[in-house]
């Protein structure tokens, strides 16, 4: 322990005696719109412009893939939304009934 040097840690890239400056948080500007304005049209146009900017760097195959993927997702969401909870439980019970006895939990213990 003869070679022990005391004091604060010295990190690379920092100058001694300088304070760490904190970044200022940017405040979000809220848009105040009138209640009679049509907000859905403005959001629709902004999403279209975002999609066009994203699509501009994509190849034709990538665009087709995204479109097919979006259609499949929409179809899946429509299929899920069409069934009620009661129907989903009935389908699950029918599926579990069709499974073989191999999947049953074996009885353990006396009885």
Q: Domain limits of the chain?
A: 58-99
9 pLDDT band (50/70/90 cuts)?
A: confident
Q: 35-60: string of b/e by CB count within 10 Å (b at 16+)?
A: eeeeeeeeeeeeeeeeeeeeeeeeee
pTM: 0.34
- Residue 100: pLDDT over 60: yes
Picking from 52, 55, 54, 33, the residue whose alpha carbon sits closest to that of residue 42 is 33
pLDDT digits (tens, 9 = 90+) for 56-70: 788 999 999 999 999
Per-residue confidence (pLDDT) for residue 63, from 0 to 100: 94
Mean pLDDT of 2-26: 75
Better pLDDT: 94 or 23: 94
């Amino acid at each position: 322990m003869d070679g022990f040097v005391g004091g604060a840690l010295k990190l690379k890239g920092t100058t001694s005696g300088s304070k760490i400056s904190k970044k200022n948080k940017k405040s979000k500007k809220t848009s105040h719109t009138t209640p009679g304005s049509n907000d859905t049209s403005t959001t629709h146009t902004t999403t279209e412009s975002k999609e066009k900017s994203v699509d501009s760097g994509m190849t034709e195959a990538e665009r087709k893939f995204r479109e097919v993927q979006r259609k499949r997702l929409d179809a899946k969401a429509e299929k899920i939304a069409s069934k009620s909870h009661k129907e989903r439980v009935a389908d699950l019970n029918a599926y579990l009934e069709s499974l073989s006895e191999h999947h049953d939990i074996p009885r353990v213990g006396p009885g």
